[in-house]
Amino acid sequence: MSRVASIVSGAALVLFGAGCFVVPSMPRSAPEQGVRSVAATESTKSFTATESSSWSPLAIGAAFGLLAAVVTAQPVLAADLENGEAVFQGNCTACHAGGNNSIVAEKKLKKDALVTYGKYDVGAIIKQVTNGNGSMPAFGDKLGPDDIEDVANYVYNKADKW
């Protein structure tokens, strides 16, 4: 998520920056009426044309960046859950296969159990995975924050589907 957010805000910043060049010229031509507006429009056009050569590639690039960020927003989210699943398969199934708990049977990863033990919350799962709890080992040294966030989201999303 943070990756998408930074891409979007980055693209938005560039777009906003490009917008600053264009917007100030608009009030100048907008209030003008009749014949004079043709000249005004012409001068605005040539002004904009000269300016456009400097900002246009940037704006187009930013627009594509924003488009790509918007278009890929869903797949990126899906990929995070996919990565979460991969992390889960590699690091959690030893004790939590099928959402079960082979050590403390009642502390399953199913929604009912998570709710009962106050863990039906991505933040609480992140904390549990990072620091461990009881007989569950800590993963704070083994997994990066992104992998922990992904696996926590995977567990949370899977809780009512095991």
Ligand X SMILES: *[C@@H]1O[C@H](CO)[C@@H](O)[C@H](O)[C@H]1NC(C)=O
Query: Footprint of ligand X on this chain (CB under 6 A)?
Result: 86-87, 90-91, 97-98, 100, 118, 133-134, 143, 147
Q: Which residues pair with 133 in a beta bridge?
A: 136
Site string for ligand HEC, 55-94 (x = CB under 6 A): ------------------------------------xx-x
Residue 159 binds to ligand HEC (criterion: CB under 6 A): no
97 contact choice in ligand HEC, ligand X, none (CB below 5 to 8 Å, kind-dependent): ligand X
Identity at 158, one-letter amino acid code: K
Q: Count Cα atoms within 13 angstroms, Cβ side, for 73.
A: 11
Q: Count Cα atoms within 13 angstroms, Cβ side, for 159.
A: 21
107 contact choice in ligand HEC, ligand X, none (CB below 5 to 8 Å, kind-dependent): ligand HEC
Q: How far is the CB of 94 from ligand HEC (least distance, A)?
A: 5
Count of CB atoms situated within 10 Å of the CB of 11: 20
Whole-number Å distance between alpha carbons of 23 and 108: 57
Site string for ligand HEC, 130-149 (x = CB under 6 A): ---xxxxx-x----------
Whole-number Å distance between alpha carbons of 155 and 11: 32
Q: How far is the CB of 72 from ligand X (least distance, A)?
A: 21
Q: 113: which residues sit within 8 A by CB, 6+ positions away?
A: 101, 106, 107, 119
Comparison of 9 and 116: residue with beta carbon closer to ligand X: 116
CA triple 132-142-136, angle to 5 deg:
20
Could you list the residues that contact ligand HEC (CB under 6 A)?
91-92, 94-96, 101, 103-104, 107-109, 113-114, 117, 119, 125, 128-129, 133-137, 139, 151, 155
